[in-house]
Chains A and B, each alone.
Chain A
């Protein structure tokens, strides 16, 4: 890994990693964050797997932060004058995708809450949804943490997936 000038028109220096590693990092970090949330939700606080769940949180947050330190941060969150017209178009596309992601997460969460609240009692179906009648503050905080980090990491992650640097060897 090297520190390099990532834009011909700016003086910003970011951690430069290959698109392939950035793609792996994006899947690991975003996947870990959602894995952490669902495992913590399902297993509760007093699980023997608490250390594994904690590791997922570390992977998710650490991976997201690392991704945001790479060259894709400048592309995803750079000002108009820092990136060229093609990058601006890609940046806008990535942010539209991130907005769609947030909207879908909220729609699906709303649907899940509605379904869970109307589901028959576990004794009638033999199926336990493990869904609390009142959602604890901790679950809401975890949910917001996942939304915050994944939404923040999504634009640079998408730019890494769309990057074709490998095809531009001169």
Chain B
């Protein structure tokens, strides 16, 4: 199974599913299937999504589940220990 962050990046870019679907030339329902993880895209579609969302493919898709965003942000802002 391929995990993805399409919904996160789409929300951050302020795009609706319909707008993203039109940008990558698919049915808006397909975006819903992708976001729920019900469908794994082809390499071509993954690259087009990454291009439209302004992210690298490996930022959008991974074979392992992505860590929660809150954990990542927390780790990034931890004060350095002497």
| A positions within 8 Å CB-CB of B | 7-9, 83-87, 163-165, 167-168, 170
Contacts and interface: CB of A to CB of B under 8 A. Distances in A.
B28 A85 contact: no
Contacts, number: 47
Interface of chain A: mostly helix, strand, loop or mixed: loop
Given A84-B27, A86-B27, A87-B30, A170 B16 contact: yes
B56 interface: no
Of A83, A86, A164, A165, most B-chain CB atoms within 10 Å: A86
Interface of B: 16-18, 21-22, 25-33, 36, 38-39, 41-42, 45
A86 B16 contact: no
Contacts of A87: 27, 30
Contact of A167 (B21, B22, B30, B32): B32
28 contacts: A7-B27, A8-B18, A8-B22, A8-B25, A8-B27, A8-B28, A9-B25, A9-B27, A83-B27, A84-B25, A85-B26, A85-B41, A85-B42, A86-B29, A86-B30, A86-B33, A164-B32, A164-B33, A164-B38, A165-B29, A167-B32, A167-B36, A168-B17, A168-B28, A168-B29, A168-B31, A170-B17, A170-B32
Contacts of B31: 168
B28 A170 contact: yes
Contacts of A8: 18, 21-22, 25-28
Contacts of B36: 167
A61 to B, nearest CB: 30
Of B18, B29, B41, most A-chain CB atoms within 10 Å: B29
